[in-house]
Amino acid sequence: MLRVAEHRDETPWTKTMRFKDAVDARPGQFVMVWVPGVDEFPMSISYVGDRFGITYQIVGDGTKALSKAAEGDIVGIRGPFGRGFSITGKRILVVAGGAGIAPTAPLVDAATKKGVAVRLVLGAKSSAELVFESRCAAAGAEVHVSTDDGSKGQKGFATGLASSLIEKERYDSVYACGPERMITAMADICRKRGLPMQASVERIMKCGIGVCDSCALDGKHVCTDGPVFDLEQLEKFSELGKTRLDRTGRKTGI
Ligand SMILES: Cc1cc2nc3c(=O)[nH]c(=O)nc-3n(C[C@H](O)[C@H](O)[C@H](O)COP(=O)(O)OP(=O)(O)OC[C@H]3O[C@@H](n4cnc5c(N)ncnc54)[C@H](O)[C@@H]3O)c2cc1C
């Protein structure tokens, strides 16, 4: 049980919660967040190391209850869990769509700290929903913004902007987190260009430790085998971008 040290608004629908405690985690790993009496759900670690933190969109009952926590309140945290990103190469492209910036912002921090040249494509529905643009620029990344409605940066999806950057410049590796159709589109682009890629995948998770099977994806457990997978593995997933298990374990379309 950890005490909330800071709880701030990033946008009207996105908040960052930080704790006094340090967590030794790799960018891309996640924690299970327990709001007593409400629910427990997975959240990527958006700040690793000292004063670790999570950054979340308010979407349903669990995140709505979490959003009401004040500084000094107590939240249950289990983890860190899962396999995070591994940084390879000297020049990388990071593609983050929506809440996908939560696990990729610490990746940008870690890569720039290692002297890796980082280009970040930050995509959101509108300028009001952009998160961590200045944080990533301050870390040393060259930030390229795309918005679906054209209110900031290039109009359109993050994949379009990422694809034009890939045509202009050679990257050693590509990293992605965001909506599943963004991940499958980036996997297509990277396969055609022969670029190594890693992406973080989301599935319903209950235990976070590979026991309950809620996050099963083509025989893998996203919580322990992922959530970060490389291109070779992503291409083997026949269900990616098509189906997922709902909260009752029933297969549903995406
Ligand atoms: C590894 C991982 C990391 C994540 N990191 C982040 C993050 O950094 N920031 C962020 O905003 N969101 C993140 N999510 C999604 C987040 O877990 C859900 O938004 C959250 O559980 C919603 O809970 P709720 O009760 O508010 O909404 P609900 O009303 O329960 O659900 C709203 C939506 O969230 C999905 N969802 C619900 N429960 C889960 C669950 N246990 N696991 C996964 N998806 C769920 C549902 O399919 C639904 O589409 C992550 C998910 C995973 C699997």
pLDDT score for 92: 98
User: Residue 121 Cα, ligand 1 centroid: separation in angstroms?
Assistant: 23
Could you tell me whether strands 2-11 and 39-47 are parallel, antiparallel, or unpaired per DSSP bridges?
Answer: unpaired
Q: Whose CA is nearest to atom 49 of ligand 1?
A: 59
Write out pLDDT tens, residues 147-168: 999 999 999 999 999 999 999 9
Domain boundaries, the chain: 2-81, 91-248
Q: Exposure of 140 by Cβ count < 10 A (0-12 exposed, 13-18 middle, 19+ buried)? A: middle
CB of 42 sitting under 6 A from ligand 1: yes
pLDDT score for 48: 96
Which CATH code, of 3.40.640.10, 3.40.50.2300, 3.40.830.10, 2.40.30.10, is assigned to 2-81? Answer: 2.40.30.10
Omega cis (within 30) before 80: yes
CB of 40 sitting under 6 A from ligand 1: no
Q: Which helix (H) or strand (E) holds 102?
A: helix 101-113
Hey, is 146 helix, strand or coil? strand
pLDDT score for 231: 98
Which CATH code, of 3.10.520.10, 3.40.50.80, 3.30.2320.80, 3.40.190.10, is assigned to 91-248? Answer: 3.40.50.80
Which of 202, 217, 251 best tests ligand 1's pocket when mutated (most atoms within 8 Å of CB)?
202
pLDDT score for 254: 83
Q: Whose CA is nearest to atom 8 of ligand 1?
A: 44
Low-confidence ranges of the chain (pLDDT < 50): none
User: Residue 179 Cα, ligand 1 centroid: separation in angstroms?
Assistant: 12
Q: Whose CA is nearest to atom 11 of ligand 1?
A: 56
pLDDT score for 207: 97
User: Residue 184 Cα, ligand 1 centroid: separation in angstroms?
Assistant: 19
CB of 227 sitting under 6 A from ligand 1: yes
CB of 53 sitting under 6 A from ligand 1: no
Q: Which residue intervals of 121-239 are DSSP H helices?
A: 133-139, 158-168, 180-193, 222-225, 231-236
Is-contact 29 45, C-beta < 8 A? yes
